[in-house]
């Protein structure tokens, strides 16, 4: 009986945490579209959070506000957005600059949310981890290769490190037993090529042993904001690198995760505490912001491409073609989501 209540409690926490994460990420995204549309004089017919049947709704200022049954997704329906309309306040009648702002506002809001959440995460830490080497473990290979106490690591294999975690991430991407480090030593940049690391094998992949510790610094308002900004840049780049690795085949497509995988990750993060859940929230919202700006039909980035073309040629592309291309992109995204969900379920079964 105790086991049953424990499992039920764990399930309830997972559900609440998932609704919280999905809800706030989607709400902020759609709020960006909604506010810029309103400020641009574009008629917003509906602002809905969730998908499926409407649980309740009300209308104010010509806009229907609704909460729907399934807490995944949401939308802002603007007049003339996906169909031809001659009505006043139509999306297609607004200046192209205003439409570009409306289109990118959702992604920008997601990135801002990520920054705000990361400020909270950094504030919860006792110290801010720097990229400066504090000490080495006994017999450290990196010290024998030229790395010194007091060196600040600014790049690994030519890729800049914004935060201490970037160093770990770049080491994880390095499958050889060595890496090229760029450090700041006595105010000067020093290049350390072929720094040797001890290695161990994990899931058939060589991993580097990090044989040194970094300094921690006290928090100030300025250092917290700077660290949160660097975390935002770091997570954003991590998303881009992950997409690149997926496209180039460095990461197997079977590692692609969908909603089920995200819920599983949320469950694990929520069991580790609020800080871990907030970090995952930051990663998801930054991921959504960047992914939405990809030039894929049916995403904000796909619409942005059409608007940029319109701004350059000073003539819109025929809306029937845009609708057809977006419909094809939507089908592609649904197929991708089904594939990712199948992957997630397969991993859970195995």
pLDDT at 337: 67
Yes or no: say if 296 and 329 are a contact pair by the CB < 8 Å rule: yes
Q: How far is CA 310 from the centre of its chain?
A: 29
pLDDT in tens, the chain (350 residues): 545 445 556 667 777 777 788 889 999 999 999 999 999 999 999 999 888 899 999 999 889 999 998 877 788 999 888 777 778 788 888 999 999 999 999 999 999 999 999 999 999 989 999 999 999 999 899 999 999 999 999 999 999 999 998 998 888 877 678 889 999 999 999 999 999 888 887 777 777 888 999 999 999 999 999 999 999 999 998 888 877 877 776 666 566 555 555 666 666 666 667 888 888 899 889 998 998 998 888 788 988 998 999 899 888 877 777 777 777 776 776 776 666 666 656 655 55
* Sign of the four-CA dihedral 248, 252, 254, 256: negative
Q: Output the pLDDT for position 73.
A: 78
Q: How many residues does the chain have?
A: 350
Of 30, 81, 170, 322, the active-site residue reads 30
Q: What is the pLDDT of residue 256?
A: 59
Residue 304 CB neighbour total at 10 angstroms = 19
Rounded Cα–Cα distance for residues 3 and 7 (Å): 6
Q: What is the DSSP letter of 125?
A: S
CB 35 within 8 A of CB 105: yes
Residue 5 is predicted with a pLDDT of 42
pLDDT of residue 221: 94
**Residue 170 among the catalytic residues:** no
Per residue in 182-218, pLDDT tens?
A: 999 999 999 999 998 888 877 777 778 889 999 999 9
**Structure tokens given for 178:** 């060595």
In contact, 214 and 134? CB cutoff 8 Å: yes
């Amino acid at each position: 009986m105790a086991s049953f209540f424990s499992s039920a409690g764990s399930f309830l926490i997972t559900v609440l945490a998932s609704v919280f994460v999905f809800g706030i990420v989607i709400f902020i995204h759609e709020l960006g579209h909604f506010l810029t549309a309103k400020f641009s004089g574009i008629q917003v017919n509906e602002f809905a959070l969730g998908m499926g049947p409407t649980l309740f709704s009300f209308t104010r200022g010509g806009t229907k506000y609704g909460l729907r049954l399934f807490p995944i997704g949401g939308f802002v329906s603007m007049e003339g957005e996906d169909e031809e309309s001659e009505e006043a306040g139509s999306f297609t009648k607004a200046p192209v600059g205003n439409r570009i702002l409306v289109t990118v506002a959702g992604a920008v809001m997601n990135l801002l949310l990520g920054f705000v959440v990361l400020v909270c995460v950094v504030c919860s830490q006792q110290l801010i981890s720097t990229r400066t080497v504090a000490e080495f473990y006994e017999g450290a290979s990196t010290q024998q290769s030229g790395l010194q106490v007091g060196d600040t690591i600014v790049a690994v294999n030519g890729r800049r490190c914004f935060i201490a975690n970037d160093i770990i991430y770049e080491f994880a991407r390095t499958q050889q037993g060595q890496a090229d480090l760029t450090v700041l030593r006595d105010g000067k940049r020093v290049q350390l090529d072929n720094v040797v690391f001890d290695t161990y094998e994990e899931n058939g992949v060589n991993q580097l042993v990090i044989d040194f510790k970094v300094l921690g610094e006290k928090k100030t308002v300025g250092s917290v904001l700077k660290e949160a900004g660097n975390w935002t840049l770091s997570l954003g780049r991590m998303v881009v690198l992950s997409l690149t690795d997926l496209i180039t085949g460095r990461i197997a497509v079977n590692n692609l995760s969908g909603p089920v995988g995200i819920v599983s990750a949320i469950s694990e993060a929520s069991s580790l505490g609020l800080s871990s859940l907030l970090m995952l929230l930051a990663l998801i919202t930054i991921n959504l912001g960047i992914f939405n700006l990809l030039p894929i039909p049916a995403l904000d980035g796909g619409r942005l491409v059409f608007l940029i073309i319109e701004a350059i040629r000073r003539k819109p592309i025929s809306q029937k073609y845009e609708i057809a291309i977006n419909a094809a992109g939507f089908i592609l995204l649904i197929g991708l989501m089904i594939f990712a969900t199948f992957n997630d379920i397969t991993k859970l079964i195995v």
